[in-house]
Amino acid sequence: MAFFYRREEITFSDHPRFKGVKWALLIDSKKSSQAGVSMLLIDPGIEIPIHTHDEQIDSIYVLEGEGEAYVNGNWEKIKAGDYIFVPPKEEHGVKNTGKEPLRLFIVHSPPLF
């Protein structure tokens, strides 16, 4: 089954793990066993700490805003249009260092949620 979401149908709620982060879970493990798809809105000054996923790849596209991403052992500046691919078991994190929300489009495979 295919899924189609119009922009006005996508709603954000508080992230279950991170304060100051809102998310829209578009595709979860109930809809697909192969990929989970979500969007995150990270408030200015908020950080998703460095972490790993045992099984999932993390594919992250920066839609809006600016911040830093922890990849390959370093914090790198990120902005709209940047892309990050994180294999399983690799450390990564992200923080909003800008003045506006940082909006990310994320695909996990297999689904994280």
Q: What is the per-residue pLDDT across 99-108, written as a single tens digit (0 to 9) for each?
A: 999 999 999 9
Helices (H), ranges, the chain = none
Measured distance CA(25)–CA(10) in Å, rounded: 9
The amino acid at residue 101 is P
Domains (range + CATH), the chain: 24-102 (2.60.120.10)
Q: What integer pLDDT is reported at residue 64 of this predicted model? A: 98
pLDDT (tens digit per residue) in 13-22: 999 999 999 9
Nearest to 46 by CA among 88, 107, 108, 103: 103
- Does the pTM of the predicted model rise above 0.85? yes
Q: What integer pLDDT is reported at residue 95 of this predicted model? A: 98
70: tokens are: 């922890």
